[in-house]
Chain A
Amino acid sequence: MSQNPSSNTQPKLDRSDERVRHDDSLAAMAKGFFDRVRSGDLGMLPVAVGLVVISVVFSALNPVFLAPNNLVNLLFDCATVGVISLGIVCVLVLGEIDLSVGSMSGLASAMVGVLWVNQGWPIVGAILAALVVGAGVGLLYATLYNRLGMPSFVATLAGLLALLGLQLYILGPTGSINLPYASSLVRFGQILIMPDWLSYTLALVPGLVMIGRGLRARTQRLAANLSAQPMQALILKAVVLTVALEAAVFYLNLGRGIPWMFALFVALAVLLNYGLTRTKWGRSMFAVGGNKEAARRSGINVRRIYMSAFMLCSTLAALGGILSASRLASSSQQAGTGDVNLNAIAAAVIGGTSLFGGRGSAYSALLGIIVIQAISNGLTLLNLSSSLRYMITGGVLAIAVIVDSLARRSRVSHGRA
């Protein structure tokens, strides 16, 4: 099954050990995938299964669920909590947690309302102020953790209450501020949709990037006498991805189309994914999450890594709060309360980021939040009361964590950490 004649004469650097099975053909790749899943390396599988189950159940109960415009609304809703969930991925990768993201997002939404509407600040100034406060809160958590050794669980639990208090305080007795409907911020959160041609074009990008990067890696690896991914697999993956994306875009364009707010969320997810997988910072994040002392002894500045993660998490939470204010066209006492916290955490975990640290991906927030919002959206369509919705979402979170724990146990016994 050798694709390259030179591999017969001179063994590739990484193919000289006869004990390793190499999954080169498509059939072998499929087998490799099943082996990985069985050993607890679930990847995106729970999301795929979850989405299929959810679509079948909810569309059977209410056909509106799969209507294009309902899905467009779903994407609007995904963007707000999804951005918060991106930050949660950062702290979970370190094996830490931030329980105050909901309150932080509420505070940010209140700040925008008070500074922009009540105090007459320019809108950009209000947004920047909220983001800076977010970064400051993250810095505070990191300092408490690094200098005093305060567990992030406790520090952020205290923050949950303190930030909620601050949110109520700055909103004052009225408790709710309406944002002007004509403003660009509210239009961004409710109306602005990508033009069709742009969404079709952008849907081509991931496949093209995949082929471009795959080809480059392939030439480099072959030049360096390393084995390379077979071409057919690369092209197959890219084609499947592109067809799926174009189909999704086509379906959504039957309705209103792709919201700009969702595009912003996806762009942030892509950026974070690059940071986590392709930079020294990301490598250090996973190292600290896997073995803090080993990371320290490798010369990594562990404190700075914690600081970057907590600050990123709180800042993204603040951004999520601003987006939800623009989505709801108001800053209220309810913003960021209720299930926002848990939804953000559940999304990351369902998407495959481990609560135990050292494993995760930015795309887990992207896919996980779609599952969470689909459930929430479906339950709303069924006119279920929020009491039932909370119970069901709680159950889903519990299942996600159980899957994570079982998968981790299986990985340990299969030597995959």
Chain B
Amino acid sequence: MTATLPNIPAKGESVLRLSGISKNFGAVSALTDIDLDVKAGEVVALVGDNGAGKSTLVKVLAGVHQASSGTIEFCGQQVTLDSPAKALDMGIATVFQDLALCENLDVVANLFLGHEMSPWALDEVAMEVRAWTLLRELAARIPSVREPIASLSGGQRQTVAIARSLLLNPRLIMLDEPTAALGVAQTAEVLNLIERVRDRGLGVIIISHNMEDVRAVADRIVVLRLGKNNGVFTPDSSNQELVSAITGATDNSVSRRADRKASHVQGNLGGAA
């Protein structure tokens, strides 16, 4: 399955280049003319408000949805991503927001789903060992890999989903809200992991609402707003700048709230004086 792949791009070369990607759901255009560039060894954060099109873009790249127009270049070759299997085989791994795990199967089965070792006589021992090694790397606290996913907590499920994306040695890994359900230690582990993956020369796209996490790992921050590109920022841009790009105005609910807080505090101080 690696035979059809172009060469692994060197660090700094483009892994993924999107130009003019649009996606319509009936009359709604979820994405309009999106351009995005991800280089090998780079973490790109995709931020935006709810409904900005982040998850839709990820699903287009994962082969779940097909773009209405636009071109996708992967490792220097123009590609069409018409099925999840194709995207996976090319080396695009995704951690979906809804995790996409099968609750009736155990952890090992979920990790290897669709890519089992020795398809005609499943090698359960080898798969279990690989599963434990992978989960160890993620410092995961999974009590047993032979329990169905249904018995795991939200955070444990998220760890399983992340572990699964790493299993196939992808070129590009996309994480849609990877830390949403995670505790403090696990969040740190996932951020460490993202850095390790980046250092191995993979491209990483991360979606998050948590600006702290985004700033901590991202090399570039791409803002989407209402399905369109709305600026590219560096991690040291101010919160003000990011928020105004995300909401599309300098006068927005976040800034108004901050102002109100400030004046409230001042008012209190005035009253005390």
Known A286-B104, A287-B102, A290-B103: A300·B122 in contact at CB below 8 Å:
no
**Closest Cβ neighbor of A274 among chain B residues:** B121
**9-residue interface stretch from A144-152, A256-264, A277-285, A370-378:** A277-285
Cα A208 to Cα B173 with chains together (Å): 47
Q: Is B132 a contact partner of A13 (Cβ separation < 8 A)?
A: yes
Q: How far is the CB of A226 from chain B (nearest CB, A)?
A: 6
A281, A296, A417: the one within 8 Å of B149 (CB): A417
- CB-CB under 8 A from A279, the residues of chain B are 119-122
Q: Is A14 a contact partner of B144 (Cβ separation < 8 A)?
A: yes
**Closest Cβ neighbor of B148 among chain A residues:** A417
**Closest Cβ neighbor of A292 among chain B residues:** B102
B263 within 8 A of A: no
A298 within 8 A of B: yes
- CB-CB under 8 A from B62, the residues of chain A are 297
Known A14-B128, A17-B143, A416-B150: A294·B100 in contact at CB below 8 Å:
yes
Q: How far is the CB of B271 from chain A (nearest CB, A)?
A: 53
Digitize B138-152: 1 where CB-to-A-CB distance is under 8 Å, 0 elsewhere.
Answer: 000111111011111
B235 within 8 A of A: no
Cα A220 to Cα B125 with chains together (Å): 7
**Closest Cβ neighbor of A226 among chain B residues:** B128
Cα A297 to Cα B105 with chains together (Å): 15
Q: How far is the CB of A290 from chain B (nearest CB, A)?
A: 4
B109 within 8 A of A: yes
A415 within 8 A of B: yes
**9-residue interface stretch from B20-28, B84-92, B223-231:** B84-92
Size bracket of the A interface = 35 or more
In the complex, which of the residues B89, B126, B145, B150 has the most CB atoms of chain A within 10 Å of its own CB atom? B150
A224 within 8 A of B: yes
Q: Is A19 a contact partner of B116 (Cβ separation < 8 A)?
A: no
B10 within 8 A of A: no
- CB-CB under 8 A from A13, the residues of chain B are 128-129, 132
Q: How far is the CB of A57 from chain B (nearest CB, A)?
A: 35
Q: Is A416 a contact partner of B120 (Cβ separation < 8 A)?
A: no
Which residues between 115 and 174 of chain B lie within 8 Å of chain A, taking CB atoms? Answer: 115-116, 119-122, 124-126, 128-129, 132, 141-146, 148-152
Q: Is A19 a contact partner of B100 (Cβ separation < 8 A)?
A: no
A157 within 8 A of B: no
- CB-CB under 8 A from A411, the residues of chain B are 150
A386 within 8 A of B: no
Q: Is B105 a contact partner of A286 (Cβ separation < 8 A)?
A: yes
B64 within 8 A of A: yes
**Closest Cβ neighbor of B122 among chain A residues:** A278
B114 within 8 A of A: yes
B64, B104, B119, B126: the one within 8 Å of A358 (CB): B104
A17, A280, A417: the one within 8 Å of B103 (CB): A417
Known A226-B125, A290-B102: A280·B109 in contact at CB below 8 Å:
no
- CB-CB under 8 A from A283, the residues of chain B are 105, 109, 113, 116, 122
Cα A279 to Cα B109 with chains together (Å): 11
Cα A224 to Cα B128 with chains together (Å): 9
Q: How far is the CB of A20 from chain B (nearest CB, A)?
A: 4
Q: Is B105 a contact partner of A290 (Cβ separation < 8 A)?
A: yes
B96 within 8 A of A: yes
- CB-CB under 8 A from B121, the residues of chain A are 278-279
In the complex, which of the residues A217, A290, A298 has the most CB atoms of chain B within 10 Å of its own CB atom? A298
Q: How far is the CB of B272 from chain A (nearest CB, A)?
A: 51
Which residues between 396 and 417 of chain A lie within 8 Å of chain B, taking CB atoms? Answer: 411-412, 414-417
B101 within 8 A of A: yes
- CB-CB under 8 A from B102, the residues of chain A are 286-287, 290-291, 294-295, 358
**Closest Cβ neighbor of B141 among chain A residues:** A17
A38 within 8 A of B: no
**Closest Cβ neighbor of B85 among chain A residues:** A299
- CB-CB under 8 A from B100, the residues of chain A are 291, 293-294, 297-298
In the complex, which of the residues A17, A19, A297, A415 has the most CB atoms of chain B within 10 Å of its own CB atom? A297
Cα A226 to Cα B113 with chains together (Å): 21
Q: How far is the CB of A335 from chain B (nearest CB, A)?
A: 36
B94 within 8 A of A: yes
Q: Is B145 a contact partner of A14 (Cβ separation < 8 A)?
A: yes
A113 within 8 A of B: no
Cα A301 to Cα B113 with chains together (Å): 12
Cα A358 to Cα B119 with chains together (Å): 19
A327 within 8 A of B: no
- CB-CB under 8 A from A221, the residues of chain B are 125
**Closest Cβ neighbor of A220 among chain B residues:** B125
**Closest Cβ neighbor of B94 among chain A residues:** A297
Which residues between 179 and 198 of chain A lie within 8 Å of chain B, taking CB atoms? Answer: none
- CB-CB under 8 A from A359, the residues of chain B are 104
Which residues between 341 and 392 of chain A lie within 8 Å of chain B, taking CB atoms? Answer: 358-359
- CB-CB under 8 A from A224, the residues of chain B are 125-126, 128-129
Q: How far is the CB of A292 from chain B (nearest CB, A)?
A: 9
- CB-CB under 8 A from A20, the residues of chain B are 143-144
A106 within 8 A of B: no
A289 within 8 A of B: yes
- CB-CB under 8 A from A281, the residues of chain B are 119
Q: Is A300 a contact partner of B85 (Cβ separation < 8 A)?
A: yes
In the complex, which of the residues B105, B121, B141, B142 has the most CB atoms of chain A within 10 Å of its own CB atom? B105
Query: Can you give 23 A-B contacts (C-beta < 8 A)?
Result: A13-B128, A14-B132, A220-B125, A224-B128, A225-B129, A278-B121, A280-B120, A283-B109, A284-B114, A286-B104, A287-B102, A291-B104, A294-B102, A295-B102, A297-B64, A299-B88, A300-B114, A359-B104, A412-B150, A414-B151, A416-B151, A417-B148, A417-B150
The 4 closest A-B pairs by CB, nearest first: A417-B150, A280-B119, A299-B85, A290-B104
Known: A13-B132, A299-B85. 5 other contacts (CB 8 A): A224-B125, A226-B132, A286-B104, A287-B102, A415-B150
Binding site for B on A (CB under 8 A): 13-14, 17, 19-20, 217, 220-221, 224-226, 278-281, 283-284, 286-287, 289-291, 293-301, 358-359, 411-412, 414-417
Binding site for A on B (CB under 8 A): 62, 64, 83-85, 88-89, 94, 96, 99-105, 109, 113-116, 119-122, 124-126, 128-129, 132, 141-146, 148-152
